[in-house]
Structure 1
Amino acid sequence: MPMAVGVIETLGFPSVLAAADAMVKAGEVTIVYYGQAESARLLVAVRGHIAEVKRAVEAGIAAGEQVKLGAVITYYIVPNPPKNVETILPIHFTEESEPFRMS
C-alpha cells in the first residue's frame, strides 16, 4: 500500500501533544518527527498508509483545536513522498521510531 506523511503545526506544546495523541489513536500511524518550528510553534509528523494518515491528521486537527489557548496553525499530507524528499527531510522511519512502525 502507498505510504504518506502527515504534518501538523501548532501553537504551544499542549496543542501538539493533544494532536500527536489523537493521531496515533485514530489511525495506524507512527510518529517519525517532533520538533520546534519557531518560537512557540511546534510540529509533529506521522507516517503510514494514505487513508490512515488522512484519518489521523483529521483527528489531530480536531484535538489540537480543542486545547484552551492553543491552536492548529497549519497541516499538510503528502501521499507517496519520493525517496529524495524522504532522505533529506526528517520524515523517514528512524531507529527510534522503527519499533512502533505500523505495517
Structure 2
Amino acid sequence: MPDAVGVVETLGFPSILATADAMVKAAAVTVVYCDKAESGRFLVAIRGHVAEVKRAQEAGIEAAENVYGGEVITHYIVPNPPQNVVSVLPLEYTEQADPFR
C-alpha cells in the first residue's frame, strides 16, 4: 500500500490543535510528529495511505482556518517518501502511535 506523509504548519497552538483533531477524525491517518516550528508557528505531520492523507489534510486546513485568528502557513504532501528521508526526519511510526495505525 502506498504510504504518504502530510505536513501542515499553522500560526498559533489553537489552530494546530484543531488541525490535528480534524485530520485524525476525517481519515485513517496517524499523527507521527507535532512540535513548535518557530515564532508561534506549530506543525503536525501525519502518515497513512495517500488518499487518506489528502482527505485528512484538507479537513485539517479547513479546521485551522475556522479557528479565530487561525492561519495556515504552509502544507505539503509527500507520496511514498523514500526510506532515507523517513530514517533521517522524525516521521517514523513510534510505539506510542502504533496502536492507532
Q: TM-score range by the shorter chain?
A: over 0.9
Gaps of 5+ in 1: none
What RMSD in Å do the two structures reach over aligned CA positions? Answer: 0.6
Residues 4-61 of structure 1: per-residue CA shift (max 9 Å, x gap): 0000000000000000000001110000000111020000000000000000000000
Is 1:40 paired with 2:65? no
Provide the rounded CA distance (Å) in 1 between the counterparts of 2:72 and 2:18: 11
- Quote the offset at 1:3 in angstroms: 0.3
Residue 96 of structure 1, CA deviation = 1.4
Confirm whether residue 13 of structure 1 aligns to residue 13 of structure 2.
yes
Paired residue type of 1:2: P
Runs of 4+ in structure 1 off by over 6 angstroms are none
TM-score, with structure 2 as normaliser? 0.98
- Structure 2 residues without counterparts, runs of 5 or longer: none
> Equivalent pairs: percent with the same residue?
68
How many residue pairs are counted as aligned between the two chains?
Answer: 101
- Which residue type is aligned with residue 53 of structure 1? V
Give the TM-score, by structure 1 length: 0.96
Counterparts of 1:63 and 1:77 in 2: how far apart (Å)? 17
Q: Mean alpha-carbon deviation: is it higher for 90-99 or for 8-17? A: 90-99
Determine the C-alpha separation between the residues in 2 that align with 1:11 and 1:33: 17
